[in-house]
Amino acid sequence: MREQRQTIPVLLILTALAVGVIVLFMTLGAKGRWDFVLPFRGAKVLSMVLVAHAIAVSTVLFQTVSHNRILTPSIMGFDALYVLIQTSLIFAVGSAAVTDFDPRLLFAGEVALMVAFSSLLYRWLFSGNSRSLHLLILVGIVFGVLFRSLSGFMQRIIDPNEFVLLQDRLFANFNSVDSNLLAVSTATILAVSVVAWRFMHAYDVLALGRDPSINLGVNHNRVVTIVLMMVAILVSVSTALVGPVTFFGLLVANLAYQLAGTHKHRVVLPVAVLLAVICLVGGQLILERIFAFDTALSIVIEFVGGIVFLALLIRGAAR
């Protein structure tokens, strides 16, 4: 009962806030013709909403199957793999050749590679007798370190000019999103979300743990594999679109648990997505209008979000 009292206002307020920041972002400080400003900013907003959705959903689902609220998909070496792919590309063929590639092809290649890596990892770990998720995560961390060291090594011996170009590609950036990629990403993320929606009822049960969910008739291995694949696709698409931003998933997921006041994924997932939209669009708004692009988006989000998160934790502990 107490959940319903809290849920509907929270959802309403968050929706209003999300719409509010989007409207502000679209209109504030517009100095040109509207028929130029709106499509230009609209594409940016769409990419941010896509990334927000992908990161929020993937983090919440990943935390549900791993029974851990501190882990994020980035711990599985996703970010590191993205960095490695970019570094090896520039290292092997040079930045001039990389910019000549068809961006859609490059994007498809990156996503395919990341999904292949993750499914290989899951398949290998889930097929044997060791169905331990902790082992999976540990292996992910070790791979992450390996990828990071490999990238670090290549970055050190690369031409300094190339390195500057590379670094530019490695920061999360919503200003240089290709509109062709946007269409592909939207389609992919929509498709994954439809699948994710169909399993909605199973997530609450999965959160109980392996044995109770098998007892309740959930095909645990199958559902967990599907969830991890969805997480892999979502993270890959969003990383390939704008670069690594997965840390902020930790923030929105935990804020969502606090605000939703229920364990039900039907509520937690939308709350997390709305929070992520507010964080990203709001953060970008602050970045563009207040700091005039003088800093990085992740700094804005992590600073403001971190303070809110700490405040919630301290309040929660005091209760």
What are φ and ψ of residue 182, in 5° steps?
Answer: -60, -45
Among the listed residues 68, 173, 186, 225, the single contact to other proteins using CB under 8 A: 68
Q: How far is the CB of 215 from other proteins (least distance, A)?
A: 5
Binding span for other proteins by CB under 8 A among 48-56, 82-90, 109-117, 214-222: 214-222
Residue from 200, 299, 307, 313 binding other proteins (CB under 8 A): 200
Residue 1 is a binding residue for other proteins (CB under 8 A): yes
How many residues in the shown chain lie near other proteins by CB under 8 A?
24
Residue 198 sits in the site that holds other proteins (CB under 8 A): no
> For other proteins, which is the closer residue by CB, 267 or 280?
267
Residue 212 lies near other proteins (rule: CB under 8 A): yes
Pair 79, 145: CB distance under 8 Å: no
- Provide the 10 A C-beta neighbour count for residue 292: 8
CB of 103 to other proteins, least distance (A): 41
- Work out which of 24, 137, 139, 207 binds other proteins, going by CB under 8 A: 207
d(CA 101, CA 99): 6
Nearer to other proteins, 38 or 137 (CB): 137
Q: Which residue of 209, 291, 314, 315 would you call a contact of other proteins, by CB under 8 A? A: 209
The count of other CB atoms within 10 Å of the CB of residue 117 is: 20
Q: Does 152 bind other proteins (CB under 8 A)?
A: no
The reply to whether 2 sits near other proteins by the rule CB under 8 A is yes
Subset of residues 121 to 140 that bind other proteins, contact rule: CB under 8 A: 129
Length of the chain: 319
Q: Which is nearer to other proteins, 23 or 216 (CB)?
A: 216
Contact indicator for 3, 264 with CB cutoff of 8 Å = yes
Among residues 193, 263, 304, 312, the one that binds other proteins under rule CB under 8 A: 263
Question: Does 211 participate in binding other proteins (rule CB under 8 A)?
Answer: yes
Toward other proteins, which CB reaches closer, 4 or 27?
Answer: 4
Residues that bind other proteins (CB under 8 A): 1-2, 67-69, 129, 200-202, 204-205, 207-212, 214-219, 263
